Structure 1
């Protein structure tokens, strides 16, 4: 059965995190970044109120944000014992502290880490070999000079030591999911919000995890086959 990861949007604040946990999804995804004073926070965007997050101390982030920006440790406490954690690292330098926090809260098999950076995957697999890590592929579709690599990701996946591949749904639909499955890599597919695509991927045995902003809809569709 394909598991479901509930993605939390920044705009939803802590309410979105609690809603994701309450949805019944197997995983709750949080985006991890670091502030100027070293705090690990749950925040998708590089900026808060137009100011780079990595130039703001956490106190300033809280003052600028229109909704609460939780610390990663606080978010893990909310998720713990309700779901598994899906930790999406948005930048270098978060690897060790994030994984150590997750190990303390969830043990070795209660979470998965995703990152677009092969070097981050390799670092985690070197120092925490039992942790499940997926190389995220497809963010480069919007970045000049990187999109071509996303259509042939297997070399980067193998060299990084990743256990899984996290694929943008557009790539999954044009043959990259097939490539990864043939090479023996389970797939996470993101971010799937349209019901026809949910049905397609929930019924595909090559998809281990479906990532969505609409977990309740995905759970309903999965329950009804």
Structure 2
């Protein structure tokens, strides 16, 4: 059965994690960045209202946001034993800290770490082989490395990723099929239309479907 992961954006409210748990999904996404004073926080974008996270203290980031930005450890503690974590690394340099937090708070087998950077996946795979990892592919065509995403098998083998996380557009262009032939399970993001949900939920190559509409995805999957 395909698992569902609840996608998070910076606009998600304070009750996001409770809503994710209540949806019946198996995973919830936690976007991970570090502030200038070393706090590991839940944040998708590298800045908030003009304040660059990597250059600001945690207090300054919260002030810029206008609310208390959750620490990743707090988010993990809130979901532990209730839903699995999908820990999406938004920058390099935090890989081992995040993996070790996940092992300590969520426990082995209860989370997956995703990153666009093969070096990040390789670092975790070498130091914590018990941690499940997925290399994320699907850059915009204007971004560095975009063309390599159409043939990701060498990168996946080289970094030791357990899974692949594929943008739904790229998945439909044959990349999902490439990975399936090699026996590499896939996470597909971010799938929000009913037509695409049905398509990917029916595909045995898709281990996890990532969506902003988890209630709808769970309903379609479970036939309710």
Counting matched residue pairs gives 224
- 1:132 is displaced (CA, Å) by 0.5
- CA 1:67/1:11 → structure 2, altered by over 3 Å: closer, same or farther? farther
61-70 or 129-138, larger mean C-alpha shift: 61-70
Indicate the residue corresponding to 1:216 in structure 2: 215
Q: Establish whether residue 173 from structure 1 lines up as the match of residue 169 from structure 2.
A: no
Matched residue SS, 1:13: coil
- 1:64 is displaced (CA, Å) by 0.7
- 1:67 is displaced (CA, Å) by 4.1
Name stretches of at least 5 consecutive residues in structure 2 with no aligned partner: none
- Cα shift readout 1:177-198 (whole Å, capped 9, x = no counterpart): 0000011100000011111111
- 1:146 is displaced (CA, Å) by 2.0
* Separation in 2, partners of 1:44, 1:165: 20
Matched residue SS, 1:144: coil
* Separation in 1, partners of 2:66, 2:216: 27
* Separation in 2, partners of 1:99, 1:64: 28
CA contact (8 A) 1:13 1:69 kept: no
- 1:152 is displaced (CA, Å) by 0.6
* Separation in 2, partners of 1:209, 1:9: 18
Matched residue SS, 2:154: helix
Normalization by structure 1: what TM-score?
0.96
Indicate the residue corresponding to 1:186 in structure 2: 185
Indicate the residue corresponding to 2:13 in structure 1: 13
Indicate the residue corresponding to 1:111 in structure 2: 111
* Separation in 2, partners of 1:37, 1:103: 23
CA contact (8 A) 1:115 1:121 kept: yes
RMSD value, Cα? 1.2
- 1:8 is displaced (CA, Å) by 1.8
* Separation in 2, partners of 1:60, 1:172: 39
Q: Establish whether residue 164 from structure 1 lines up as the match of residue 189 from structure 2.
A: no
* Separation in 1, partners of 2:193, 2:141: 20
Normalization by structure 2: what TM-score?
0.97
Matched residue SS, 1:120: helix
- 1:142 is displaced (CA, Å) by 4.6
CA contact (8 A) 1:168 1:190 kept: yes
Indicate the residue corresponding to 1:147 in structure 2: 146
Matched residue SS, 1:197: helix
- 1:113 is displaced (CA, Å) by 0.5
Matched residue SS, 1:174: helix
- Cα shift readout 1:49-92 (whole Å, capped 9, x = no counterpart): 12211111100111110443200010001111110111000100
CA contact (8 A) 2:48 2:61 kept: yes
11-20 or 40-49, larger mean C-alpha shift: 11-20
Name stretches of at least 5 consecutive residues in structure 1 with no aligned partner: none
Indicate the residue corresponding to 1:91 in structure 2: 91
* Separation in 1, partners of 2:23, 2:10: 17
* Separation in 2, partners of 1:75, 1:58: 16
